[in-house]
Structure 1
Amino acid sequence: MNSHCVGESDGLTFCLARPEDYDDVMAISQDIYGGNDYLPHRYHSWMTEPGRVVIIARRDGKLVALESGLVVDGGETVIVEGLRVCPNERGRGLAGVIQKFVDGYIKKVYPNVKTKRLTRGDDPGPEKLRKFTLLARRAILSLLGNSEDFNSFVSGLKEKLDPSDGSNSSRPLVPIKDFDALKALLLDSDLSSRLQLPGGAIIQDWEPLKLMESNLHILAKRNLTWFVDGSCAKPLFMSLHTPPYPIPFNGGSLRFNIDLYGTDTSLAKKALIAHLDSAKSEIQGIVVVHIYMHKAIWEDLKQFCVGHDTVKQFYWDYWEQLLLEREL
């Protein structure tokens, strides 16, 4: 075996992924997530990310599968993501084989890891769910439009804001740019219950991170934009967005993820406007916006976004992000 290869099983050779494997990985990634695949953009940064393991599987020299794990929570949890199998191998149990190998490899290299955590955008059904603890379900609203149309879309949203809409409509949303201020906010012991955080975690671009200091340093490296209910020392709402990044959809588009935390509809509307406003200089061409939120505010936010000529709801009418966990 080559020095970067770390094991063999079931006729497969497992290796640590390298930058030069990129084209082979892209070759098995056609139509992943309906063109919303983050891996073409993230792959090279994954190669150097601290605590990140990326495993590829080859059969007779051909790359057939990939899975990645990021060790978080001070070394006690691995977030698994990126799983993919080449089209002609799907449905043959290969996903389970690479998952089992990656679990064992993570446990060997990071012996303090006790928990495996993941998110997924489909409901795998009761049989598969029995293997995990379902920590949370979040609602997702997806929008699609051209960048030049988002200015008028946001202007229309601002016109729809009703000053009498809810008791918290006068609360200001303020940006958080200072790490110490963010740290004080996120390490507040009752933030999770106050904002009804999913599984007590922040989920950023599908990666669930518990509220602990070691994870804040992970978040601090990601150039995120944060807004918070600024009316008091105990905020009722918080939101963040990940910088827009390219995806394969429709021959080349941008993906823009916005995460909303809290259940106040009027603050959610303000937050959506604030994030779209703050990112307008970063978007061009076709833009897919995914907005993740508590289920209680999805319908109101959906109705809030209806009515524009060209920025429309995209993907399924209603879909969910599931947060799952089990012992490793």
Structure 2
Amino acid sequence: MERKSVGDCEGLTFWLAQAEDYPEVMSMSEGIYGGNDYLPHRYHEWLGEPGRTVLLARSSQGKLVALESSLVVDEGTSVVVEGLRVCVSARGRGVAGIIQRFADSYVRQLYPFTIKMKRLTRSDDELAKYSLLARRAVLSLVGEAEYYNSFLSHLKNKLCSAGAASALTVSVPEMVPLEKEQLRDVLLDPELHSRVQLPGGAIIQDWQPLRPVEGNLEILARRNLTWLADSKDAPVFLSFYTPPYPVPYNGGSMRVNIDMFGTDHVLAQRALVGLLQRVFEKGELKGTVVVHVYMATSLWETLQGFCEGHTGVTRHRDYWEQLFMEKEF
């Protein structure tokens, strides 16, 4: 069956992305995010995800010039924008604005009455008309997979030394895993936001902001996350990691994203050790491994110092931030 476009706008033609567009999308995305691009791994998953629209923009000559993805979340009241990119030859010509305007109008056609807010996360705040809801610090580490076992031992030794040096730490609980029903109760607890200080009132999973509401539990379940908390009932610290996935960095690497919610410095250290332990116990990693840890800004200095002193796993980037932004749709 012949493909049909879904519309035209300001000299561009728009199409719903399909599997056969993958080579062109990857060519357009070369070098993006310093080699940490998630799209090579996520593209095909996105095409079949409920509530998601992936749009491609082509020039009058048929050249692929831009992509944007929109995911409807928060029980149909918000749309999260992800994956926006423009090919090198078309940058600086307003193409990003054109595809954003068309994508908004297209989503409005699909959901004409329910969506109230447009949300996104990014690493800079150069967006007019958006309100900044929250900012999180990011600690980035890099090393070969073979060094992470000794890195974990390095971190565990630091925890033990800190515990021996302070009698106060005996009252700090161990991190415990959360299973499906426990997780549901925790996420739907109306007090969660204040206890763990959710950034902008959202669980941000690998750059995707989701309100802790019933309708988002299915989205989170699709991500196959591993959760740790200081308590199964009323935690003050919540964390998880997204399963490792390949990225183009250094000719082919693995990326691990860890998200933390809470401000307790000792619990943050224990959560980091617990999650890294679970990542590497599965034996899925090889080659270069890049770990990004997203946290409250007040935790960065502590965790950065906690991870220092190992020659095989080192800091990948200096301090940087993840910003959570929104505007009316």
Q: TM-score, normalised by structure 1?
A: 0.95
Shift of 1:170: 2.9
- Residue matched to 2:287: 285
Cα distance in 1 between the residues matched to 2:6 and 2:168: 57
What residue identity is the alignment partner of 2:202? A
Partner residue, 2:121: 119
After superposition, what is the alpha-carbon deviation per residue over 1:59-94, rounded to whole angstroms, capped at 9, x for unaligned? 111111000000011111100010000001111110
Q: SS of the counterpart of 1:116?
A: strand
- 1:90 partner letter: R
Relative to structure 2, which stretch is displaced further, 205-214 or 104-113?
Answer: 104-113
Q: Does residue 1:134 correspond to 2:132, yes or no?
A: yes
**1:48 corresponds to 2:38:** no
Separation of aligned partners in 2, 1:273 and 1:91: 43
* CA drift at 1:45: 0.6
CA contact (8 A) 1:139 1:320 kept: yes
Q: Contact (CA 8 Å) 2:66, 2:87: kept in 1 or not?
A: yes
Tell whether the 8 Å contact from 1:166 to 1:266 is kept in structure 2 after alignment.
no
**Residue of structure 2 equivalent to 1:90:** 91
After superposition, the CA RMSD in angstroms is 1.3
CA distance in 2, matches of 1:77, 1:165: 47
**What is the letter of the counterpart of residue 174 of structure 1?**
V
Instruction: Quote the offset at 1:110 in angstroms.
Output: 1.2
- What 5-or-longer segments of structure 2 have no aligned partner? none
Q: How far apart, CA to CA, are the structure 2 residues paired with 1:79 and 1:248?
A: 25
CA distance in 2, matches of 1:158, 1:165: 17
1:168 Cα shift? 7.3
Task: Give the aligned partner of residue 224 of structure 2.
Answer: 223
Equivalent AA in structure 2 for residue 19 of structure 1: A
* CA 1:52–1:297: 2 relative to 1, 3 Å: same
Distance 1:193 1:262 in 2: 10
Amino acid at match of 2:270: K
Measured after TM superposition, the shift of residue 284 of structure 1 is 1.1
Who is 2:25 aligned against? 25
Superposition deviation, residue 174 in structure 1 = 0.5
Q: Distance in 1 between the 2:92 and 2:268 partners?
A: 40
AA matched with 1:325: E
User: Which residue of 141, 144, 147 maps to 2:145?
Assistant: 147
Q: Identical aligned pairs, as a percentage?
A: 57
Give the partner amino acid of 2:304: K
Q: Would you say how many aligned residue pairs link Structure 1 and Structure 2? A: 320
Report the alpha carbon displacement of residue 4 of structure 1 after superposing the two structures with TM.
3.8
For structure 1, the 5+ residue unaligned runs are none
1:293-326 Cα deviation digits (max 9, x unpaired): 00111100000000001200012x1100000000
Q: Which residue of 1 aligns with 2:185?
A: 184
Counterpart of 1:242 in 2: which secondary structure?
A: strand
